[in-house]
Structure 1
Amino acid sequence: MKSKGKYIPVILLALLLFMAWRQQWWKGPRPVTPPYTKTGHSPRSTVNDPAVLNRHARLEYTVHARCRMECRHITEAEVSEILADGRINTEKSNPRDQPCPTFALEGYSEEGQHLRIVFAPCDGTTRVVTCIDLDKEWSCNCN
């Protein structure tokens, strides 16, 4: 009878090790999967999701963006350059903007302007929301 009792601690230890291995307790808590929007994109991961921001999209320009481009001497070619090659500034982007997420892309144009262009992909096109020269203050009368 005593011989059966001496294996209980070994069996319990083996059971605990098996449970720890199955749950992977030593790796810490598992990350919580963020909720998904109607489009299937996670709001937290949208900023860097290439499916949301098409770098070769057809562009539509808002009246405000056209005004800013004119007074800051930014061409459509420069806007396309930044869309294709710019770096997403997550601090200035808002993937939860409604009705469309906004992405602030930054970079240098071939002419050397340090630009931030805000894009809003929506309904199959990408709108240019505004254009900013990060190195020079321009006087503009845009609304």
Structure 2
Amino acid sequence: MKSKGKYIPMLLLTLLLWLAWQQQWWKGPQRQPRVTAHNNTSIATTDKRDKKITEKTPAGLNRHAPLKYTRHARCRMECRHVTEAEVVGILETGSVNNEKSNPQDEPCPTYALEGYSEEGQHLRVVFAPCEDTTSVVTCIDLDKDWSCSCN
């Protein structure tokens, strides 16, 4: 009967690990933008930053345009484990960060769109619509610093 007591700590550890796996505690909390009304325009702000992000699509950005990926964007996507499907998802549903966008950029304006991937990655993707295609300029994970040696 004495041997039953030595299994209790192992059972408790197993239960704790199972609970951690179920809750995915190691990923941290999944933050979603908080949406508020401002001057009849839908504005979303993140909890982490005190900046305004608009959900309106700028006039120069086609959310369904064919995409070209710059070499830099491909490198950043690879480092940060971001797929083309996730980039397309941000283009289609992301909110424009006006502080990181530059509609006056030459030769093409740039728009920084932010959102969450299906896996919960908080991403900022910079797009440059030019003529009939849109270039993906870069991709940033807003919650995690990845080791990357892109130029």
TM-score in terms of structure 1 length: 0.65
1:90 aligns with 2:98: yes
Partner of 2:111: 103
Q: Using the alignment, how far apart are the partners of 2:80 and 2:58 within structure 1? A: 28
Q: Using the alignment, how far apart are the partners of 2:124 and 2:57 within structure 1? A: 19
Instruction: Write the deviation string for residues 65-124 of structure 1: whole angstroms up to 9, x where unpaired.
Output: 000000000000000000000000000000000000000000001111000000000021
Aligned length: 96
Do the aligned residues in 1 keep the contact of 2:57 with 2:96 (CA within 8 Å)?
no
1:55 aligns with 2:63: yes
SS at match of 1:89: strand
Match of 2:76 among 60, 68, 78: 68
1:79 aligns with 2:67: no
Match of 1:136 among 144, 148, 151: 144
* Structure 1 unaligned blocks of 5 or more: 1-47
1:111 counterpart letter in structure 2 = E
SS at match of 1:54: coil
Structure with higher Rg: it is 1
Partner of 1:120: 128
Q: Percent identity?
A: 76
Instruction: Write the deviation string for residues 37-69 of structure 1: whole angstroms up to 9, x where unpaired.
Output: xxxxxxxxxxx5544100011000000000000
Greater fraction strand: 2
* Structure 2 unaligned blocks of 5 or more: 1-55
Relative contact order: is structure 1 or structure 2 higher (C-alpha 8 Å, sep ≥ 6)? Answer: 1
